Amino acid sequence: MIQETYLALVAEETSKGNIKPVVRELSLSSLPENEVLIRVLYSSLNYKDALSATGNRGITRNYPHTPGIDACGTVIYSADPQVKKGDHVLVCGYDLGMNTPGGFGQYINVPGSWVMPLPEGLGFRESMMFGTAGFTAALAIYKMELNGQHPDQGPVLVTGAGGGLGSIAINIMAGIGYKVIAATGKTNEYDYFTELGASEIISRDQVDDHSGKHLLRPRWAGVIDTVGGNILSTAIKACQRHGNVAVCGNALSFELQSSVYPFILNGINLLGIDSATCPMNLRRQLWDKLSMDWRPSMPDQISKEISLNELPLFIDQILAGKIRGRMFVNMEM
């Protein structure tokens, strides 16, 4: 039996004109009409969710709104012949949680083309331990290796290493034979990064060059960058010839100041990573890898389970840079 109401985190305007996330009871009829109705069992907290939940109009145009770019659960109703009632499914990216009510609600109603089966051997809970962060890390590694990246070439730098994407990227890459340099503002958590598999931990200040030089001494063979800004610029300048720099985020800045020299003299490949619109065939392939040979070995160390009611607190913390790893949400807790 389908419930008439459900709980959701709603970002709504306050009397002072700010956007604030609060937990509300909503009517199921408030969801937009679509092809597949899903009972959400788990979701996860991403930086983009926090921006949506606090009024970033570049992410979400209209409020009130339910964020959450990740969701997994059981199909309650489907008008799409490819998706059956009772299927265990996963929805990550597309417009979910941006301008379509997202995974921070106990129900979502989405197009069938957004829905993929939960990978074999991966449960609801574990899939959201990884979520968009894990999928984006896998997509970055896939694109780097498609462009010739190999462990024998040298270490790979991961910036924003203490975040969810960075933590999972370190753990996956270490598990498949790469030496990984973790760049972080959390250098006091040496044991955490070592346990994930990092072979070297450096301060983010060491990837923040202000010399004005167009090229620096090569220090790494590839980069997974989650922060943007001058750290990304420095990472590019210090990448060895024919290395790959995967750009996954802009937690520090959306700007990139660079000359053409790293690209035309050192042959650096700058790879844009857009997980939201990744084609479904590749999406399924990468989720299968996450459930098998690229499966992170330390999900419990990287991820923490929280409730829907705890979300507002952790939204504030992720925006303040105070979260290590991932927060995933038990929607029935």
pLDDT tens for residues 68-89? 999 999 999 999 999 999 999 9
pLDDT range class, residue 299, cuts 50, 70, 90: confident
The answer on pLDDT for 100 being more than 90 is: yes
pTM tops 0.75: yes
- Residue 289 falls in which region: left (phi positive, over 0), alpha (psi -120 to 50) or beta: alpha
Output phi, psi for 162, to 5 deg: -80, -10
Do the Cβ atoms of 240 and 221 come closer than 8 Å?
yes
The answer on pLDDT for 144 being more than 80 is: yes
pLDDT in tens, 9-53: 999 988 888 999 999 999 999 999 999 999 999 999 999 999 999
Give the dihedral of Cα atoms 258, 259, 263, 264; nearest 10 deg: 180
**How high is the pLDDT of residue 17?**
80
pLDDT range class, residue 1, cuts 50, 70, 90: low
Amino acid identity at 285: Q
pLDDT range class, residue 189, cuts 50, 70, 90: confident
The answer on pLDDT for 106 being more than 90 is: yes
Other Cβ atoms within 10 Å of 67 Cβ, number = 31
**How high is the pLDDT of residue 188?**
82
Q: Which fold does the domain 132-272 belong to in CATH? A: Rossmann fold (3.40.50)
The β-bridge relationship of strands 303-307 and 326-330 is parallel
The β-bridge relationship of strands 36-45 and 107-110 is antiparallel
Mean pLDDT of 142-159: 97
Q: Domains of the chain: which residue ranges?
A: 5-118+298-330, 132-272
- Domain 5-118+298-330 CATH superfamily: Medium-chain alcohol dehydrogenases, catalytic domain (3.90.180.10)
Written as six digits, the tokens of 224 are 């997974």
H-only helix segments in the chain: 47-53, 124-146, 164-175, 190-196, 229-237, 261-264, 280-291, 299-302, 311-319
The β-bridge relationship of strands 180-184 and 200-203 is parallel
Beta-bridge partners for 200: 181
Do the Cβ atoms of 104 and 311 come closer than 8 Å?
yes
* CB burial string 289-326: b at 16+ within 10 A, e below: bbbeebbbebbeebbbbbebebbbebbeebeeeebbbb
The answer on pLDDT for 131 being more than 70 is: yes
Percent of the chain with pLDDT over 90: 90
Q: How many helices (H) and strands (E) does the chain have?
A: 9, 15
